[in-house]
Structures are given as structure tokens and as C-alpha cells.
Amino acid sequence: MTVDLFRLDGKIAAIIGAGSGIGAAVAAGAAEQGATVVSLDLDGGAAAKVAGQIGPAASAASMDIRDARAVNDVLGRVVADYGQLDIVVCTPSINVRKPLLQYTSGEFDDLVALNLKGSFHVVQAAGRIMTAQGFGSIVVFASIRAQVVEPGQAVYAMTKAGIVQLVRGAAAEFGASGVRVNAIAPGIVDTALTRQIKNNPAWHRAYAEKSVLKRWARAEELVGPTLFLVSDAASYVTGTILFADGGWTAADGRFTPPGM
């Protein structure tokens, strides 16, 4: 009998940021592959709405990843309710696009608190549970900005590069306990986080042209890469960063030489 390595039947998946965008798409995709989904978001109402759309295989709760105690409590309740925690996916982030010399200390603190420290809280809390039970998979969303940057993205890029190293370190520490930790680096995705860019026609067009596919990604196009990493198809994949960027980081420059 052929085993479908991409199925998630019997898995308990906590999807953080599931109230909208990529997180909502991943939550729905995980349920379609057979997982029991816990939809988590700072906006508990939005998380509940997504869970309702998924159906009886999903539940929801509010969670602020900036609050370490809340993260531990909510993920602990998932284990209490379901007996295990197989999958944790962490998608939330914020961005303030402005020159480095114009950044305020408060803006810097806000980005670090959510993007980097919040991701740390999730990895730490999930890691405690999963290393104790002897299995599990954690995926944290980084960005192409972990590797390439442009004006106005310095602080955001710093937090995303930090996530990559956090993931690598956690993978090295948790691996002996049967726990895998990976990162996904999206390119430009049509979500609320990129609305500022989409609303500027020239900026929107420039980002589309930078991708070798000449378009933005839809949130649903991040589902496959994410579910691959949490599935048995990726059972020997850990400590890696999977770029889902339409070729953004593969192509150097925007000029095609004559005759090509």
C-alpha cells in the first residue's frame, strides 16, 4: 500500500496567525490534509471565524505571542485537550518601512517584540512540549529579507535573519528528541502586511517584476511549502530555510543581456 507522505491524519496542528492571510490559508490547508487544527490569533474573533469555516475539525483561541506566559498556557491547553501537539506554525509579523535614521526606539522595540521575541516564545514553548513527548515539527515564517534587503527594510530584515538563526539553533538542540524546526522565507505575498506596497502602483509593479514569475504570490501558495515541512515527506528536513519567493533570490539583477 502506498503511504501518502503529505497527509496529516491524526496530527494536532496549532496555527498561529490563523485569523487572516497566510495563517488562515495554512490552517485550512492543514485541515484538508486531515489535521485537527487549533486556530490561534491575537484577534480571537478572527481565529474563531476561520475555525468555523474549517468545520468541526478546528477550534480557536486568542493568543499574543509577545506574552510568554500566554503562549505557554495556550499551547499547554492544546496538549491538555488533545493529548499531544504535533505541529506548530508561526506566521505573525509586522513591518515599519522607513529609513533606518528615521526609526524611533519605540518602532524598533515593537518589531523586535513581535517578530523576533514572539517567535522565540513560540519556539521555546513548543519545544518544551515536543521534546518531552519525543516528536513534533515547528515552522516559523522568516522572509527573503533574512537574506536580501532594500532601503527602509533594515530592522524588519534584522528580525527575519534572527528567526533563521533561532530556527537553526533550535533544530540543533531539539533534533535528538525527534523534533524538527524549519523556516519559510516568502517573497512578496498579497496580504495585509503588504497593502502599503500594493496601494502604490509603481512599487507594486517593481516587486512583481523582481520575481522571475513576474507576479506576486497568493497566500494560498504558501500552504504547500508549509505543509511539506510539517509532513512526513520532510521527515529528514530540519534546520533549513525554504525560500518560496518566485525566484526572487535566485535572479541577480533585472536586465536581460542582448541576445538572451
Burial (Cβ within 10 Å: 0-12, 13-18, ≥19) of residue 54: buried
Q: What is the dihedral of CA 250, 162, 164, 126, to 10 degrees?
A: -150
The residues assigned a catalytic role are 156
> pLDDT exceeding 90 applies to what percent of the chain?
83
For 191-220, write each residue's pLDDT tens digit. 877 778 888 888 888 888 888 999 989 999
Instruction: Catalogue all structural domains in the chain, each as residue range(s) with its CATH number.
Output: 12-243 (3.40.50.720)
Report how far apart, in Å, the C-alpha atoms of 247 and of each of 144, 150, 207, 225, 251 are. Answer: 10, 17, 12, 14, 6
- 3 state DSSP class of 66: coil
Structure confidence by residue, pLDDT tens digits, 148-193:
998 999 999 999 999 999 999 999 999 999 999 999 999 988 887 7
Kindly report, residue by residue over 102-160, the tens digit of the pLDDT: 999 999 999 999 999 999 999 999 999 999 999 999 999 999 999 999 899 999 999 99
Mean pLDDT confidence for 1-5:
70
Tell me the β-bridge partners of 37.
Answer: 13, 58
Instruction: Give the CA angle between residues 7, 11, 17 to the nearest 5°.
Output: 100
pLDDT at 259: 66
pTM here is: 0.94
Q: What is the mean pLDDT of residues 45-56?
A: 97
